[in-house]
Amino acid sequence: MLLHRFYDEDLAQASYFIGCQAENTAVVVDPRRDIADYLDLASHHGMTITGVAETHIHADYLSGTRELAAATGAQIYVSGEGGEDWQYGFDGTRLHDRDTITIGNIVIQARHTPGHTPEHLSFLVTDGAFANTPGYMLSGDFVFSGDLGRPDLLDEAAGGIDTRFAGASQLFHSLKNVFLDLPDHVQIYPAHGAGSACGKALGALPSTTVGYERSYAWWAPYLNNDDEQGFIEELLEGQPDAHAYFGRMKRQNKSGPLILGYPLTPLPELQGADIADQVRRGEKILVDTRHHTKVHAGTVEGAVNVPGVDKAATYSAWVFDPEVDSGNLVILAADSETAENYRNHFMRVGIDEVAGFITSFEGLPITTPEVLPQAQLEHTNHAMLLDLRNKTEHADGHIPGSAQLSGGRVLWNLDQLPADDATIITYCQSGVRNSVAASALRRRGYRIIELEGSYLGWLAHNNT
């Protein structure tokens, strides 16, 4: 059996390629939308992808299940559990608890493990060439290394009301009735790692085992003592802010993401002078991919800051909402290969309208963002001092008088801001997230002044 993990550092998301080397067929679980890596691996091993499966309706990225199936002719497998409200809106084989997918010697069994979401499945994998019982579990957003999938995303990002309590109770029983019923040696491969907003304390290890989690996970004592209420309270306490774009991901993944068609047409290189008028009218939006210290020296009018490809999916979804914002994106990139890499990251969060790339700002209208030195903070009139960090960071320490609204939620909560002609001073921890969110707010017409050095700068200034 071939079991290969693909890991996206940007979204802390894992997908899996399970291949039968006897039959040369494979199933991919929880693929992302840029599918070249799966096709390349299949080609390298001389395998045909015959199945594409999902553990659940994802909230943090746009699924590549339909894209990969369209490119390969593979059968789609999705959950049929969770009740009427949690049925997928596109064609595919519906899997219920204990249903199986077979490729050669390998049997992949679906287990219904609700809690993170009502329809959630985990997949038990048996390599029939070596054993007749499962040795592996692809746990999706059910069990992570050292943590569990949060049950409150439906409240936080998808408009649910108090679904977290029922979800937490379901997680308790999924652990009790499914997970802890497995032998200790079963290896667990989760769909997320450290940095994901799908849990509050995810470990960085790529896998774990049933036995390790049974003995050392934070939740183990609650299960050992059958303390469901204590488990629920601990699970729900201190969860980080959910990014607002998660709600859009839920809707699109449920109904079925648009199939773009592989391979994509390469992005053209554009010239600033040719698109300057469109930029002024907002028909094209520049993505300034530089570090915020360079942005502060001058950027294109109306540009949004997505500083580097490493977090391009995350930050682009903070600053651009394809359901609301009009205009095509134009990426600042050194070359075509870099631009395509950015586009791949944007696709992962459903941002598809990319017109091309530029290599310089020549011929484009330039502006200089307002930045406030720490020494002037007390002497600058403003309507709001806005902390763009997570609520947990704000609770651990903040600048007195500041309000908190995380950068991943601010564009979806403009009603919490003063009028757009009022002065808002913004900060985050070091300045990166501040520049991202500030650029989006400026494009919406708000007068934003970024606090130089952000919270770390404020601490240094006030401790000298």
Same domain, 301 and 226: no
State the pLDDT at residue 161: 67
Residue 267 counted as domain residue: no
Same domain, 29 and 105: yes
Residue 265 counted as domain residue: no
pLDDT band at 40 (very low <50, low <70, confident <90, very high): very high
CATH number for 112: 3.60.15.10
Report how many domains make up the chain.
3
Same domain, 226 and 213: yes
Q: Is 420's pLDDT higher than 90?
A: no
Same domain, 285 and 185: no
Same domain, 150 and 288: no
CATH number for 454: 3.40.250.10
Arithmetic mean of pLDDT, 122-141: 97
Same domain, 315 and 407: no
Choose one of 367, 401, 417: the last residue of a domain: 367
Same domain, 57 and 95: yes
| Sheet hosting strand 304-305, strand order edge to edge | 304-305, 284-288, 328-332, 354-358
Residue 152 counted as domain residue: yes
pLDDT tens-digit readout, 267-313? 999 999 999 999 999 999 999 999 999 999 999 999 999 999 999 99
Task: Tell me which of 242 and 212 has the higher pLDDT.
Answer: 212
What backbone phi and psi angles, to 5 degrees, belong to 148? -130, 155
Residue 359 counted as domain residue: yes
Q: How far is 116 from 82, CA to CA, in rounded Å? A: 11
What is the domain range of residue 207?
2-255
Residue 262 counted as domain residue: no
Residue 416 counted as domain residue: yes
- Per the CB < 8 A criterion, the answer to whether 26 and 47 are in contact is yes
pLDDT tens-digit readout, 65-87? 999 999 999 999 999 999 998 99
Choose one of 255, 283, 302: the last residue of a domain: 255
Choose one of 335, 367, 399: the last residue of a domain: 367
Residue 263 counted as domain residue: no
Same domain, 63 and 188: yes
Same domain, 176 and 292: no
Same domain, 296 and 442: no
Q: Please name which of 454, 393, 386 lies closest in space to residue 417, comparing C-alpha atoms.
A: 386
State the pLDDT at residue 160: 62
State the pLDDT at residue 158: 55
Same domain, 120 and 251: yes
Q: Is 440's pLDDT higher than 60?
A: yes
Measured between alpha carbons, how far is residue 51 from residues 41, 108, 136, 311 in Å? Answer: 15, 11, 18, 29
Q: Is 196's pLDDT higher than 60?
A: no
Measured between alpha carbons, how far is residue 361 from residues 146, 272, 342, 436 in Å? Answer: 46, 6, 18, 19
Task: Tell me which of 202 and 60 has the higher pLDDT.
Answer: 60
pLDDT band at 427 (very low <50, low <70, confident <90, very high): very high
Same domain, 139 and 190: yes
pTM score of the predicted model: 0.94
Q: How far is 166 from 164, CA to CA, in rounded Å? A: 6
Residue 260 counted as domain residue: no
Q: Please name which of 92, 74, 96, 71 lies closest in space to residue 83, comparing C-alpha atoms.
A: 96
